Amino acid sequence: MQSSPAQPASCADITHARQLGLVKHLTGGPALEILADAGYQGLGAQTGGRLVTPPHRKFKRNPPDWYEEIYERQRKAHSSRRIRVEHGIAHLKNWQALARHHGRREHISDTIQAVASLLSHQQTATRGTCQER
């Protein structure tokens, strides 16, 4: 599991991704699909469809019935595919070390990497145990 370094100030997800060179990395890298949330809307076209976001709402007021049905179906399909990502983020946030440092960003990047490594190791060890049975 990888995470980007924490920024000293508040920053939009898409801005942070652009500053880190995510668009360039994805367009030049292997063909893969990344499921992102609505904070990355617009990067899909820039990455050749490698970054997939929920559908953009075309009608904000008084949408036709046919559009609302299609939009909800597409949104639910994306959400269903992305649920494991959300669960992983929630699992990280449950760690007391992250809750204790909420708002203090000096060491949060190192803490997140450490917790992610521990979780990854724990999941690998658990899978190995189940497979041995």
How do residues 31-69 score in pLDDT, each as one tens digit? Answer: 888 888 888 888 888 888 888 899 888 887 888 888 888
- Look at residue 49 and tell me if it is in a domain: yes
- Look at residue 84 and tell me if it is in a domain: no
The residue range of the domain holding 34 is: 1-53
- Look at residue 83 and tell me if it is in a domain: no
- Give the global pTM: 0.60
CA distance 51 to 41: 9
CA distance 103 to 106: 9
What are the residues whose beta carbons fall under 8 Å from the beta carbon of 52, sequence distance 6 or more?
33, 34, 35, 36, 44, 78
Q: Domain tally for the chain?
A: 2
pLDDT tens figures, 78-113? 999 998 888 877 877 776 656 565 556 666 677 777
